[in-house]
Structure 1
Amino acid sequence: MKSSVDRKPLTLAGAINEAFSVMLKEDERVLLLGEDIGQNGGVFRVTEGLLEAFGEDRVIDTPLSEAGFVGAAIGMAANGLKPVVEIQFLGFIYPAYEQLMTHAVRLRSRTMGHFTVPIVIRAPYGAGVRAPEIHCDSTESIFTHMPGLKVVCPSSPYDAKGLMISAIEDPDPVLFLEPMRQYRSNAEDVPEGIYTVEIGKGKKILEGEDVTIITWGAMVSVSMKAAEALVQKNVSCEVIDLRTLSPIDENLIASSVQKTGRTVIVQESHPQSSVANDIISIINETSFLYQKAPAAKVSGFDMPVPYFGYEDFYLPTPERVVKAVMDVVNF
């Protein structure tokens, strides 16, 4: 028998699939729900093979009704089960917004702690895969504004598996955002068996001295390419992958920006009312007197994500990140 320290290379999609497999084996209360997740294995085949392994009572194909099956899953969670619900794309979650905001995040306080809602809502999100309208939204800040809902966004296979297991074990609702561009962009060694990555803790993925780049999801790889290019300009970047957007790792943000004195935040979402704005507030509250330049952000634009080839003009690029970094360095 293999131990939990044995490793095998997995993509982000494969790591999430393995997280489901080990948790379905470990805990009979865990079940999966969503449109086409059973026979078809989901739009991105993240649940492929699980119906055959665990049966239709544990891997459930639902009707085309996000409000309906999210509401049903909230009831399941309140009654002792641990449902993991797939929304095919984040842009399809809006019909279920009422179920999340009115019921899932309030039930613990409404019942004075007598009930919790251990539900995971997982959704592919983000542009860059040439999908149609509404399939490419990056509207995570809508959900970070829901007290009682944790919002998680891994960028790597290792983090994806560990965070998914943590999300399933969490007693409260978790929105698990999966960057579509990262599903099969690379593979890395991932431990077999059960391990966890703590929700609410970010990760420093590159040490640096001159500028802190704060990012998450698919923008991590964009930021790393920018940091590599900036070495040629004698600029040393520290890159932070937040991993969790709510609760956000304020201590990691503060310690890094106090060291470098300069910050660039890279996000795919719209700039207005965004997570980047929340990060700037954290910097002002914890580290204002350490700053050598105003914090900058590189974002999408305040418009719907455009169709197909025009995505490239909408999305942050390494070149845009390099420019923002040089602006704060030369402030």
Structure 2
Amino acid sequence: MSAADPKFQTFDLPPEITGPSAWYGPDMIQDQSWCQHFTAADVAEIEAATQAVLTDPGVNLAALTADDFPLPQLAPRLRQVRKEVLDGRGFALLRGLPVERWSRRQAAIAFLGLGSHFGRARPQNARGHVLGHVIDMGLSSDDPNVRIYQTHERQTFHTDSSDIVGLLCLQTAKAGGHSALVSSVTIFNEMRRRRPNLLALLFEPIETDRRGEVPPGEKPYFTIPTYSWHAGLLSAIYQRQYIESARRFSDVPPLTAAQREAYDLFDALANDESLNFQMTLKRGDVQLVHNHTLLHDRTAFEDWREPERRRHLLRLWLAPEDARPLPPAFAQRYGSVTPGGRGGVTVEGMQLTVPYDPV
């Protein structure tokens, strides 16, 4: 099929994108300036702010703000990191929180406090949890109401439903469970060079399964293009398994042969080691990822038998007030496109909560 075929070339594609967001994995392996270490002074400041929140009954943990968690010395560095995540390469790793000496509650508050310097925490499920637990719950993604982070399976490359996703590693797996990143901007560039006819299909709306977490008045799936070009910016939203599982609904048509070819190429590029790279999260690591310009993945893992040693990460979905503009279609999934108040899962009667343990 020719790239000039009018059936596929439905509009003028955006131009090839240059700049720090269009990176290749091997280059990131060589240049690890994205990894920073907390100093002893940083940790002392974080612990002091955590203790202040622990002893203040008036603080609303589910709506914790940077004012509630002052970090006078560290905050300027965090602002630089946030700018790099939102406007630069799209990710960062902050290493060295002493989670081994903290209680679960201390770790949760410290993470919520750090996250408040990047954006407002958004609910991650229908129960209103603004603090998520990424742990194997003994479930399977074969269940259409299970989300893959609740299993030990590979997640495959995808985006989360927020501007920024943050992870804090509490415990590592016995084997596997590595984090992988790839630039959705680079995938766009590569598809534009190789198969622009297929790339054009990814700018058309596609149904994606909500996996049982349906806002009032909405369908059990949302319909947003994988790629959107808005206000001169390229933004992506993607989860292949959920695109496939949305076909279970009677009003959702099967993928066409051309759509399947386009998504297969997209996946092949995401999985290409010349584009992506892996990092291993250690205990006390905080990873921050910009969902609009990156896809992230987690490899399958083997866990420890002892419950206290099981792989366990805390997760935040964050909405910065200085986030990029998003097209109106994103409101289907984000609830709103207003920076600082968008993203997450919202259902009728939800109350925001901070669970310290997986539930």
Normalised by the size of structure 1, how large is the TM-score?
Answer: 0.27
Q: Which structure carries more helix by proportion?
A: 1
Q: Which structure carries more relative contact order (alpha carbon 8 Å, separation 6+)?
A: 2
Normalised by the size of structure 2, how large is the TM-score?
Answer: 0.25
